[in-house]
Structure formats: C-alpha cells, structure tokens
Chain A
Amino acid sequence: MTDQAQLLPGTLDLLILRAVSLGPLHGYGVLLRIGQISGNALLIEQGALYPGLFRLVRQGLLKASWGTSENNRRAKFYELTAAGRNRLREETDNWNRLATAIGCALAAQPEET
C-alpha cells in the first residue's frame, strides 16, 4: 500500500479515458482496470472517480448507457466517443512529451550542463 504513488492533478481524466478505451466499463470496472494496467501503483480515492466520469460525459468524451453487471445488477457502462478517442490521443502525446522532458531533466549529469 505505502509504495503507491499519489496521482498528479488532472491525470485522473487521462487514466479514465485510457481505461475505457480498452472496452466499455462500469464505474468499479474503471477502477479495477486502472489498477490492473498501472500495476496497482497508483493511489486513487475511489469516490473521486465519479465526479471525473460525469465531467467527461458532460464534455462529450464518454457516453454512458445502462446495462447489467457481472452480478446481474443494473449498472451504468461507459465507453469512449470519437471525441474521447481523439482527446486520449492528444493527451497521451502531451503526457509523453512531458514525461520525456522531465525524465531528461532529472537524468541530466553535472558535466552536461
């Protein structure tokens, strides 16, 4: 538990988009999927997921529909819209650029400056 990383502000939306891009999911499923694809390395307060989900739906990046969960309960499933897919691509590129830049900066040796 203690070696989980705190989430950077704004990255939750990206993680949700990524998780949903692999297939329609309900809320708890999104949480599990994020844990699975991040190797359980990220600390997410579970409730915080929902304001994020609703925000993305409102922005038109996700669309929601009611279906049935694995335990036969009524559940709301989220999937990516075309806009969501585009946004995910942009955000991923952004993230990669940022991560590379920060990585380089932190890896720089004294003699290189």
Chain B
Amino acid sequence: MRFFAWLRSVAAKFFRHSQTANDMDEELRLHIQLRADDLEREGLGRVEAERRARIEFGGYERYKEESHEALGGNFVETLVQDVRFSLRLLHKSPGFAITAVLTLALAIGANAVVFGVLDALVLRPLNVPDAQNLYAIQPTIQHNDWSSHSYPDYLDLRDRNRSFDGIVAYEMAPAGLYAGDRASPIWLYETSGNYFDELKIQPYLGRFFHSADEHGPNSAPYIVLSYDYWRSHFLGDPSVVGRALELNKFPYTVLGVAPPQFRGTELFFAPDLWAPLVNKEQIEGYSGLTSRGERGLWLAGHLTPGVTPAEAAADLNLVASYLAKTYPKDDDGIRFSLARPGLIGNMLGGPVRAFAGGLMALAGLIMLAACANLGSLFAARTADRSREVALRLALGSTRKRILRQLLTEAALVSLIGGVLGMLAAVLLLHWLSAWQPVPDMPINVPVNPNASTYIAALVMAVASGFLFGIVPARQIMKADPYLVIKSGPVGAAGTRRFTLRDVLLTGQIAVCAMLVTASLVAVRGMVRSLHSNFGFDPQNTMQVNTDLDMARYSGDQVQAMQRRIQDAVAAIPGVTAAGYADGIPLNLGWRDSTVFADSTTDYRPSNGAADSMEYRISPGYFKAAATTLIAGRAFTWHDDKNAPRVAVVNEEFARKVFGSVDKAIGGYFKIWGGTRVQVVGVAEDGKYKTLAEDPQPAMFVSILQFPSSSTWLLVRSRRDPQQLATELERVLRGLDAGLPFTINTWHKKLDTALFVPRAATMALGILGVMGAMLAVTGIFGMAAYSVSKRMREMGIRIALGAQRREVLQAALGRAVRLLAFGSAAGLLLGLLASRVLAFIVYQATPRDPLVLAGVVLAMSLLGLLATWIPAQRALSVDPLILLRDE
C-alpha cells in the first residue's frame, strides 16, 4: 500500500510539473505578445515587432529555467530530467553502459559477499540475549592458547570468580538417537545445567533443564531438541515433549524445544539437541569429568554489570594462580583471558578474523580498482563530450547544472550496478549458508545477508558513484566553450603529459596485478599441498565410523566386536587391507598428549619431552592407511592388555625425544602420569591437524592396550566405492542390525581438512579473476579511447606511409607502457602480500619462478586481449574516409 501511495505522489509531481511549465510558458509568451503589440503600434511590421520583442526579452529558456529555480522545490524535477537525460545517453552508448554497470556489479557483489561473511562471523554478536556482554573464557597452558577446559577447572572457575553472572560449560559430541529400532547419529551439546538459564534463552516448547536437575554423574537423563531437528525429525509434533527417547540406548526424556533462532553458542556448529554434561559418561562412553587434565570444555558467561573485561580477566587469573599452585601436575602455568564467543575461543577466532579482515581488504582493493576504472571511463567520456558540454555552456547552462547531470549519470550507473551486484551477492550468501562443507556434521557457515549487508552495499554503491563521478569534474570546471568549439575535439596536446587518467589506470592495473599474483600464489600453494606427502594415501580407501558405545557395547564386548567387524570387512572380496583407529589424521578433531622422557618422575606439563599427536590403532592400520614403516614392526593382535605397552612413533617423535630413529627403537618413554611405553617401530612423518602444519611428533599405541569405543575403520580395496559401501553396509548390518555407523570415502573426509585452504584458495582465486577482468576492462577502455581520439592522426600517418608497427606504437604505446609499469608495481605488492597468505595456505611462497612467470604471462595475455580490438581498429583505418570526415 505504501508503495502505491509513493507512486501516486510521484505521478502527482510529474503532473503538477507539466502544469506549472505550461503556465509559465503561457505567461512568458503573453509578455512577448504584448510587447510585440506595443512595438507594432509604434509602427513596426508584425514580423519585425515579434523579432524585436523576443530579443528584448533575452534568453527565453534561461529565464524559464531560472524561474523554475526561483519557484523552488524543483529538486525532484531536475533530478527526473537528469535521470531521463542520463538514461538516454547511456542507451546511446550501450558498450560504455554495460562495461560500467558490470564492473560495478562485480565490485559491489564481491564486497557485499565479503562484508556479509565478515558481518556474520566477526561483527555480528551471537544470537543470544545481552550478547554484547557475553565472553568466552580462553585458557593458555604452556603458551598453548588453543586449549579448552577440564570439568574440575570449570567448577573452580564457576565458584571462585567474582566477575561473571554465571559461567556455562559446553562441548560438542556425537551420539546415537534411537527412534524406532534404528539409531541415527546426531550431534549434541553437552552443557552445564545452568546453560539455558545463564544465557537467558526461553524454550519454544516445554521447558529446559536447570542446575537443580544435576545430582552427580548420569543423574539428568533429559534432552532439549533444537527447533530444526524437531521440525525435520518429529515433523513439528508438540506431543514429543515428555516422550522418552533412547540416547545411546539409555532412556532420555524430551524436556522441550529450543527457539528457532537459537543455534547454540558456536557460530559454525548447530547441534541437533542439548543434554546435561553430567551425563557425559552415557553419551560418550567415558566421562573424564573428574580428571583435571581431561580438557574439552568451552566456557562462556555474561559479565556482571559494571565489571570491565580487563577486571574480569584479572579476577580469572587470581583463580588461575590458585589452580596452578594447588594442582601443578595439570594446571602448571595456566592463565585465562577473555575472547569473543562463537568461534571456539582463540582456536578459530584468530584465523577467521584475520582471514575475513584480509578478504575485506582485498575486496576493498577491488572496489578501488573498479572506481579507478570507472573514473577513467567517465573522464574519457567527458572528454568525448567536451563539444556538447561547451555548447551547453555557450547556450547559458551553468557548470553546476552540467556537473549535476554527470553526477546523476554516475549515481545511476552505480545504483544499477549496485542492485545487480547485491542480487548476485544475496544468491551467493544464501548458497554459502546452506552449504555443509563437512559430511556427517552439522557444520555450516551462517552468513545469511541481513539489513547491515544491504545497507553496506547501498553505501558502497553511492560512495563509489560519487568517487568516480567526481573525477571528470575538473574537466568541466575548466572547460572553455570558445576554445573547444573553435578547435574541435581536444587533440594531441592533451595526450602528451601524464593525466589523471593515466595515474588512475596505472593504480588500477597495479591493484589487479597484485590480486592476480596473490591468487596464483594461493592456487599454486594449494596444488603443492595436495601433492605433498600426507604420510598416508587416501586413494581407494573408505572410512567406516562406528561408536559401539551408541549401541551400548561395554567392557570387553567392545574390543571383541571391533575385531569381528575388522575381520568381516577384510574378508569382503576386493578388500586389500582393513584396520581401525580412534582417530584418523586430518579428520576433524584430534588428541594430543604430553610425553615424558623415561627418566622423568615429576609429570607436570612443563617437564614434558614433547607434545605428541596420539592415535590408538589396531593391527592392520598402517597397511590400510598405506603409512610406511621405516624401522621396527607394526602391532599384532598379541599387543593386547596382557602384553607390555608398546608404541610406534613417527620420525619427528624419534628425533625429538630420542635423538634419532636408531636410538628410538627399543627405547622407552612415559605417558599419562608415568605409564612406560616401549617403541617398537618408527613410521614416516605425515600431516595430522592441517596441511599447513610443520612436521610434528606423533605416536601410535595399540588400541588393544588403550581401548576406545569410537573408531574409524579404514578399508582399502580395489573396488568401486559405491559398490563397496553397499557391501560394507550389508556386512555391518549382518553383524548387528542396530549399529549406528557412517560410511565415507577418505577423500570426502579429507575435504574437511582441506576446507580452510580450499575456501581461502577459492576466495583468492575469485578475487584474482575479478582483478583480471577489471584489468581487461580498464586497459580496453584506455586503449579504445586513445585510438578513437587519434583516428584522424592515424589516418594521416597511414596516408603519409607509416608502417603497421609505427601505427600500433602510436596508437597503443602508451597503454602498453602503463600496463607494464602497473603490472610491475602490482607484482611487487603481490609478493609482499603473499607473506600474509603463507599463514593460511600451505607452501604459499612467492619466491616461485612459476608464479612469477604466471603473473607476467597472465598480465601480458590480459593486455593483449584488451588491446586487440582497439589495435585492429587502428590498423584498419582508411585514411580517405577519415580525412573526408568532419
């Protein structure tokens, strides 16, 4: 309705406008009529009288215009006039209009997407009440600030701090939810009892659990469903509240449903349901709630009103000193700091913020390049229109009026471009939000655009329009109508010295070359890291994830079942190797422990010999993973709980703890408060957490000696993955029909580890391509313009016998020189910027001849592409036609 009202008012304005214009015409004409009548009465002929009357009246159009202005309130009318005139002009030069609009759409689209991501991940607070005051608590242990908390530490922090209203603890875990007889794997938050109360979340249905529901381990068998899970799995049935469901075959009561907007306290991870942390043992199979060294909890809380973050940090560190003094074995040197919640403390927070910020800076550069590009386009266009402008000035138009029209034209282009760019950005952001980069996990990037994204895009459109619209202003201000009309279009005189256009173009090319360099560095680093040695071979291998705990196996049953599964799978025709482990390198999540030299007796973390990755593996694992043993032996089924504890370590571990591979074999080290372990083998180094990591120590222990119920079974085969998956499913169902499991190819699981570098490479690649496109349009605009300006000169040159080479040099020499200069500058900048990239992309070294050659080649090709058409035009000049022209 409001839209129609607005439309009506605009229409009325148009109507009234033509009414006043008609009245004004009538009034002015009457004046001239009456004057002519008087002159006729004085004895002049009618025709001569009318002529004299018109002369005496003066500039009819000018006075009419001034009268309009005097009447006031004609801002809208002038605007409408300008818009109509601008549209007509743009329609007349579609090439220019399309180039300009597309350039802007690209730039604004890219900026809107990046801003949307930045806004969602960095700027926007978590979607909980009073989010401004919510802080995550980040522990730092032995300079490692990626750590999480243990439950006993949480209880001490909760009870001893004086600066938080309350502190909640949570961790993410998988579990099996039984609906009917089949278990479906789900992801949940295990939270402290005060979670919902402290975060001030109100239930959508039913109620939440509270601190009062906790009475020791496994005392609170309650779950709260997320809104999405309730809608998708219970079809929004309200009667589910109060129902008993089986979580890992333990009965749990559904207390309620969380509100739709509440996705938990992490941005990337939307859980299916929430359950009390005190029931961790039932959910994960082990509890670790009593062990101070068992870290895995994330803490957050609202500051007490009036307490500053600095005061809170100081207060928390009083607790830290107490913990370090009282429990030196686990908490030696512990410190706490406050972090923004939502990105699991500093672990993701730092990289995500750095990356989003860097991306925003690059997108800003794209915007600048686009503005420079459009600025020079508009300047060139204004120069072409110098005759028209001169004519309008001569006919009495004011410079202000002409400038205003130019700015309107710029604003029009930027608005159209902005709307197009925004539409593309919204589509892309929605797609990004729906994207699930990790199989089997509720991880996504919630970057749905909101009002601030739209506002940012609008502001960018208007600002950029003003930026490049203002470029030709100087040309208008100093235009002298007399000179311009006398000498025709500005000739060679203007092209000799360095103009603003040249500077803009060089700057733009530099920025574009920099983007191209950065993206090539990133892509090359990515390709290299994909071909580096992982320490395993994911080819032709499947991962079967089972958690026997979810199916309520316990004690010795677990190992027996695990071995039965391995044996059954190994017997499938075509399977060449099978073996399982409690974790797979480069899968999401890992376990690491401090290891001690054999001589150590004081097991505080600062006395450790190394911090090592830890994998519990079955016999057959190395063969299934295709990890090469360098020395010693792998595990056998005899390395069980009755045999001495043994380990296989990697080369880095052997070097760091024992000095060399030879010394490691047969050597002893200690783990977990003094368990002695003998090294029986050494395996090759590999990648464990991320592709970008430096070589780090890793140890493999026998899962028969250190059991785990949640395992990944690696199945190496010669068969088609699809077929094998069906076969695997049949075999597993045959062993236990109620067993929850997931089957994936190893490659698919690797996508997770590669997600960050891939996303980074993709983003940089896209920006690089956009940079290249902008370079092409910029050079093309410049070259085409300089050729068209000098057509006549070319004609004369050709008529006087100039060779093709000379003609080309005259026509394009300048564009090529600018291109070379700008590219060199951009290459240098890009190389400097690549140092920053090295933090995200593995092996992103700019000192790579291939990258350098690639950039030079790319820029030359772009230059060739962009100057091709103008060059053809210059060469095809027919001197006769051209000289006859004008």
Contacts and interface: CB of A to CB of B under 8 A. Distances in A.
A58 B71 CA distance: 6
A15 B26 CA distance: 24
B59 interface: yes
Interface in B451-499: none
Nearest to B64: A50
B27 A46 contact: no
B60 interface: yes
A54 B71 contact: yes
B67 A46 contact: no
Nearest to B33: A73
Given A27-B27, A75-B27, A76-B27, A50 B67 contact: yes
Interface in B67-81: 67, 69-72
A50 B58 CA distance: 11
A47 B34 contact: no
Interface in B39-93: 56-60, 62-64, 66-67, 69-72
A51 B66 CA distance: 6
B61 to A, nearest CB: 10
Interface string A23-57: 00011100100000000000001111111111101
Nearest to A70: B34
Most chain A CB within 10 A, of B26, B27, B35, B58, is at B27
A109 interface: no
A94 interface: no
Interface residues of B, number: 25
Given A47-B60, A75-B27, A52 B70 contact: yes
Contact of B30 (A26, A45, A48, A58): A26
Most chain A CB within 10 A, of B34, B37, B60, is at B34
Contact of A46 (B35, B64, B69): B35
Interface residues of A, number: 23
A50 B63 contact: yes
B23 interface: yes
A21 B73 CA distance: 27
Nearest to A73: B30
A47 B30 contact: no
Contact of A28 (B34, B64, B67): B34
A27 B63 contact: no
A46 B66 contact: no
B381 interface: no
Contact of A47 (B23, B26, B63, B69): B63
B27 A47 contact: no
Most chain A CB within 10 A, of B23, B37, B59, B70, is at B70
Contacts of B63: 47-48, 50-51
A71 interface: yes
12 contacts: A46-B31, A46-B35, A47-B59, A48-B58, A48-B63, A50-B24, A50-B27, A50-B64, A51-B70, A53-B67, A57-B71, A58-B72
Interface of B: 23-24, 26-28, 30-31, 33-35, 37, 56-60, 62-64, 66-67, 69-72
Which 6 A-B pairs give the minimum distances between C-beta atoms?
A47-B63, A47-B58, A54-B70, A51-B66, A55-B70, A28-B34
